[in-house]
Amino acid sequence: MIGVFGGTFDPIHNGHLRTGLDLCEALPLSQLRWIPAAQPPHRDTPHADADQRLAMVRLAIADQPGFLADDRELRRDGPSFMVDTLASIRADIGLNSPLCLIIGADAYAGLNAWSRWKSLLDHAHLVVMTRPDAPPIPDEIIAWSASRQARDLDTLHAKPTGAIWFQTVTALTISASDIRARIAAGLNPRYLLPESVAEYISEHRLYRP
């Protein structure tokens, strides 16, 4: 089964990487594709440009088998709508291979604001990373999800699309915004993100005033 982990990754950090590894082992996944958003429709414009964020993702995952950087959203014009990304991946891998979109609890709580959100399950399963302080879920999403929740992981592997699974992952309270703030204040972000990414940020003078 292939996983899709999208985000701005501005910058990618150890919280992303640890949860990605958790998911690869728990689900399990044969491959996890890291997809930086070129123009995220639900967030402010990223601080680092798309090529820089892709470069940091590639550095961060370089030594982890099964992790793959995917630049398809950078090669596509317009906003980076995930439903279009999944359709593109589905066209590449065929109709029968299990595919899952991985999102956090915050994203799940706001899923009904995504473009064509109900069509996501036409292209992939949905794996939601849970956490103790997860935000409340709107009734519309609860009602939509109720009949689609998988009873076990075998369901995700048995069919290519259509199921929802909730997965507990390691809770690391690391945020990209905090890392950017630390760097802007002249503080060292070491141990919050890979050394290779920290060196890239320093070399390119990212996130400084």
**Residue 163 to residue 73: CA distance in whole angstroms:** 24
Give the burial class of 103: count Cβ atoms within 10 A of its Cβ; 0-12 exposed, 13-18 middle, 19 or more buried: buried
CA distances from 124 to 42, 74, 121 (A): 21, 21, 5
Q: What is the per-residue pLDDT for 95?
A: 95
Asked if residue 209 is part of any domain, the answer here is: no
Is residue 194 one of the residues assigned to a domain? no
Q: What are the two backbone dihedrals, phi and then psi, of residue 177, each rounded to the nearest 5 degrees?
A: -65, -40
Q: What is the pLDDT of residues 9-20, one digit of tens each?
A: 999 999 999 999
**What Cα–Cα distance (Å) separates residue 5 from each residue in 12, 34, 189?**
12, 5, 23
Q: Taking 90 as the threshold, does the pLDDT of residue 139 lie above it? A: yes
CA 38/CA 19 separation, integer angstroms: 22
Question: Residue 120 pLDDT > 70, yes or no?
Answer: yes
Coil, strand or helix: which one is 165? strand
Residues of the chain with pLDDT > 90, as a percent, come to 88
In a domain, 7, yes or no: yes
Residues 6+ apart with CB under 8 A from 21: 64
Q: What is the mean pLDDT of residues 31-42?
A: 88
Residue 173 is predicted with a pLDDT of: 87
Number of structural domains (the chain) is 1
Residue range 12-41: mean pLDDT, rounded: 94
CA dihedral 123, 171, 109, 37 (to 10 degrees): -50
Task: Let me know if residue 17 belongs to a domain.
Answer: yes
- Which stretch of DSSP H or E encloses residue 127? strand 125-130
Parent domain of 140: 2-174
pLDDT tens readout for residues 171-202: 888 999 999 999 999 999 999 999 999 999 99
pTM above the 0.85 mark? Answer: yes
Residue 180 lies in a domain: no
Provide the mean pLDDT of the chain: 94
| Three-state secondary-structure class, residue 98 | coil
Token representation of residue 52: 């820089």
Mean pLDDT confidence for 88-97:
96
In a domain, 94, yes or no: yes
Domain assignment present for residue 40? The answer is yes
Got the DSSP string for 3-44?
EEEEE--TT--HHHHHHHHHHHHHTT-SEEEEEE-SS-TTSP
Q: In this structure, what CATH number is given to the domain that contains residue 115?
A: 3.40.50.620
Query: What pLDDT band is residue 42 in, cutting at 50, 70 and 90?
Result: low
User: Is residue 46 predicted with pLDDT exceeding 80?
Assistant: yes
Inside any domain, residue 203: no
For residues 36-65, average pLDDT:
90
Phi, psi at residue 182, to the nearest 5°? -60, -45
Residue 134's pLDDT is: 79
